[in-house]
Amino acid sequence: MVTGEIRRTSGLLEKFLDSSSASTLSQCNDKENVVASELALTYHTVKHNLSYNSMDCTIKLNKIIYANSSTATAIRLARTKMEALVTEVLGPYSLQNVIEVINTDNLYYCLQTDASNKKNIKLFPLVIQYFTVKNGIENKLLDFYENSNESADGMFESIQNSLEQYKLSFHNVSGLSADNTNANFGVNHSLYTNMKNLVPDLIKGNCHAHIVHNCVRHAMSFCKTCHELCQRGAEKICSISRWRLSRNKTPCGNKMALSFAMH
């Protein structure tokens, strides 16, 4: 059912192009060039993490800059339409490609997840990492869901539901990467132990940032010289900030000095 929904939604991409259109861009008509340009701009915006709101101005600006271009002047792409293209066309289409690659080649993949708080909402991204001969290591966002149950069983159930939804086998999971909490990697009962019951050879991938932080924190307790150097450096930065604050009496100067002190 879900696979059919993905194919139906991604089929909207094919409807943008007429079935009798030629395969080369030089043979496309003006309407098809406009559609291709709108999809390319949408992909560019998402790829570089640009705001949808910026397109309201960008499209108007392009019509002025490229006034002699029939394609640029015919583009109708504001934030509402761009968001629809992402959620209804490009997003499902890219997700379908990832699922087909994994299932067709029977690839093994690692799961990566972590909790993120948005006010009183607990959100979980689910990322998969796999390797292909053509592109090397690939990291893809598979799902992004809300889950108020942050226990080991609650997280395991959500991950299991996502994999079943996209027809991915749990037995192809080779590793788990998550935050170093007891709920994720506890010895007795955790997300890792629940997954290891299904995948005995599951590889544990702890958070690298926490590992580095713990190493530095424990190393600093045994290195008195490094501790003193860091303390002197911090005192020097603070003294410079205080000096700049005292020298800048104007409102503008105070704002600049305050900004420097905060950084």
Residue ranges per domain, the chain?
2-101, 107-208, 223-262
pLDDT digits (tens, 9 = 90+) for 185-212: 888 888 999 999 999 999 988 877 777 8
Residue 20 confidence class, pLDDT cut points 50, 70, 90? very low
pLDDT digits (tens, 9 = 90+) for 203-241: 988 877 777 877 877 777 776 666 666 666 666 666 665
CB 21 within 8 A of CB 32: yes
Look up the CATH number of domain 107-208: 3.30.420.40
pLDDT digits (tens, 9 = 90+) for 88-114: 998 889 899 999 999 988 999 999 998
pLDDT greater than 80 at residue 257 = no
The residue-averaged pLDDT of 11-38 equals 61
**Nearest to residue 77, comparing CAs of 44, 49, 39, 51?**
39
| pLDDT: which is higher, 12 or 197 | 197
Q: Measured at the alpha carbon of residue 100, what is the angle toward residues 95 and 106, in degrees to the nearest 5?
A: 130
Calculate what percentage of the chain has a pLDDT beyond 90: 17
